Structure 1
Amino acid sequence: MTTDSPGIQSGAVFHTTRWTRVCLAKVDSEDGRRALAELCDAYYEPVVAFFRCELRNADAAREMSHAFFAQMLGGGAIRTAERERGRFRSYLLGAARHFLFNQHAAGSRQKRGGGAAILAIDDEEAREVADARQVSPDAEFDRQWALTVLARALDALKAECTSEGRTMVFERVKPWLMGDADHGDQAGLAAELGLSPSALRMSVHRLKQRFRHLVKGEIAGTLDDPAMVDEEMRSLFAALGG
C-alpha cells in the first residue's frame, strides 16, 4: 500500500487521500496526475474484469483497458470526477462504461462506412467466457475491486510482518485472515511457530485487527470523505458475497 493512504485509528484525523488529491488538482497538477496514475495502476484489474464481461474476449478486454487508461491518464476526463459522489470506484466504473459506449458507437459508424468493426469478438471464446461466468459486468467489476482492496491490504500486512522478522507467522496464519481455514489444529501450529496456544490466538487476533485497519486505509485512499469508509467497507464485503 502506498504512503498516500491514511492510517485509520479511532478519532484520528484523516490525511488528504490519493483520490482527494486527484479531485482537487484535476489534471493541472503534477501531484494530482501522479495520484491518479497510482490509483489507475492499483485498480487496473477491475476495469479488465468489466470489459471482459462486456466483450466476452480476454484479449480484447486487455486491449480495451490499455486504451481506456491511456485516455484517462492523458488528461481531461477527470474533470467530471465530482459527479461521482466522492468514490473513485464509482468514477472508474462510470468512465469505463462511457468509454465502451463511445467505442461501440465508433465501431458502428465505421461499419456503416464500409470499414471493419473496431470490436471484433471471437464467437467460440465468447460462448466459453459467457458459460464460465454468468454475472453482470458491474457485479464483476465490484467483485474484482473488492479482491484488489484485500490483496493490497494483505501485501501491506506481509511487508510489515517481514520487516519485523515475522514472515513465517504471517504465512502460516494468512488462511485465518482471509477466512480460508477453520481453526483446525491450532495447538500444532502454535508448537510449529514456537508459541503457546494462547499466544497464537492473540497473534491471530492482532493480525486480523491490523488487516482490517489496512483494508480501511486502502479504501480511504479511494474516497474523499472519511465518513464514507464504513459504507464502502459494507459494499466491499457485499460484492464478495459476505
Structure 2
Amino acid sequence: MTARNSLLPAAFRTTRWTCVCKAQSGSEDGRAALAELCDAYYEPVLAFLRCELRDADAARDMSHAFFAEMLGSGSIGGADRTRGRFRSYLLGAVKHFVARQRESSARMKRGGGAEPLSLDDAEAREVADAKNNTPDSEFDRQWAVTVLARGLEALRLECIAENRETFFEAVKPLLTGDGAYGDQAALAASCGMNLDAFRMAVHRLKKRLRQCVKAEVAGTLDDPAMVQEEMQSLFAALGG
C-alpha cells in the first residue's frame, strides 16, 4: 500500500471512475491509480472489518490482506462502471473477501491446521459497541466522513490560494457544525468584520463547501443524475 502519511489524516482521496478505468488497464498509470484507490478507501474498509470481525488487530490485518490482494491481482477489473457506484462495488468485494477467508479458515480448522481465533472479551465489546451499527452502516459512515473531509480540504486549498486561510481556519467550526451560534459575534470581531458581513462570508463558504462535497460525490458515480440521491445517503449515514 502507498504511504498514507502523505495525506492529511482525515482527507483520504475519493475514488473517481476515471481512476477505476485506468486501474483496469494494467498499465503503469493503472497500477498507480489502483494504489490511489486503496489509499482512498482504506478507512471505510477498516471500519467495516472492525465491526464485522469485532477484533481491531484482525481487522487491520485483513484490511492489509484485502488491499494487497487487490494490488497484486488487479481484482479491480471486476468493477463495472455501468453499475453506477464504485463504493457499492468495493463493499461487495470486501464482503466476498471476508467470506473466502472464513471458508479457508474453516477448512484449516477441520484439518487441524489452525487454532481458533482468540478474542479478548473486553476488546470485543468495545469494538462491537460502536453505537450497535452494522458493518455496512459503518462502511457508509466512514465513507461519508471521508468525502466530507475531502470537500473541506478542497475548500481550504481554495482559501489558501485566495489568501483567506486565516479566515477559513477561524470559521471552520461553523462550517463543520462544531461552533455555537452565540460565538459568531466574537468571531466576527476577531476577523475585523461586522456581524452581517461575517454571516454573509460564512454563508458563502458553506455554499462553496457543499459544491466541493458534491464534486467529490460526483466523482464516485457514473450518472450525474445520481448525485442528489448519493448526497442524501451521505447525510443519512452521518445521522443528519
| TM-score category of the 2 structures, normalised to the smaller one | 0.7 to 0.9
Q: Aligned match of 2:172 in 152, 171, 174?
A: 174
1:20 aligns with 2:18: yes
How much does 1:117 deviate?
4.4
- Runs of 4+ with >6 A deviation: none
Counterpart of 2:67? 69
Distance in structure 1 (CA, Å) of the matches to 2:19 and 2:45: 21
Tell me, in whole angstroms, the C-alpha distance in 1 between the residues paired with 2:77 and 2:171: 44
Decide whether aligned partners of structure 1 residues 125 and 25 sit closer, same or farther in structure 2, where only a CA change above 3 A counts.
closer
One-letter amino acid of the counterpart of residue 201, structure 1: R
Q: Is the 8 A contact 2:17 2:81 kept in 1?
A: no
CA contact (8 A) 1:19 1:223 kept: yes
CA contact (8 A) 1:27 1:78 kept: no
2:182 to 184, 188, 191: 184
What count of residue pairs does the alignment treat as equivalent?
A: 230
Match of 1:226 among 224, 227, 233: 224
Amino acid at match of 2:234: L
SS of equivalent residue, structure 2 residue 232: helix
Quick check: 1:20–1:223 contact (8 Å CA) kept in 2?
Answer: no
2:233 maps to 1:235: yes
Kept in 1: contact 2:82–2:222 (CA 8 A): no
Q: Deviations over 1:136-163 (max 9, x none)?
A: 0000110011001111111121122223
Stretch of structure 1 that moved more, 153-162 or 40-49:
153-162
1:96-115 alignment, distance < 5 Å = 96-115=94-113
Q: Contact 1:18/1:35 (CA < 8 Å) preserved in 2?
A: no
2: CA distance, partners of 1:131 / 1:28: 41
Gap runs ≥5 in structure 2: 1-6
Displacement after TM superposition at 1:87 (Å): 0.8
Distance 2:82 2:105 in 1: 28
RMSD after superposition: 2.4
Correspondences of 1:91-240 after superposition (within 5 Å): 91-117=89-115, 119-240=117-238
Once the two structures are TM-superposed, the CA of residue 84 in structure 1 deviates from its matched residue by 7.5
Give the alignment's TM-score, normalised by structure 1: 0.86
Aligned positions of 1:30-41 closer than 5 A: 30-41=28-39
Does the Cα contact within 8 Å between 1:18 and 1:36 map onto a contact in 2? no
CA distance in 2, matches of 1:84, 1:49: 27
Distance, in Å, in 2 between the alignment partners of 1:50 and 1:27 is: 28
Tell me, yes or no, if structure 1 residue 54 matches structure 2 residue 56. Answer: no
Structure 1 residues 230 and 178, CA gap change in structure 2 (3 angstroms) = same
Give the equivalent residue in structure 2 for 1:10: none
The aligned amino acid for 1:211 is: L
Aligned identity (percent) is 67
Amino acid at match of 1:239: A
Q: Distance in 2 between matches of 1:61 and 1:222?
A: 25
Give secondary structure in 2 for the equivalent of 1:184: helix
In structure 2, C-alpha distance between the alignment counterparts of 1:85 and 1:152, rounded to whole Å: 24
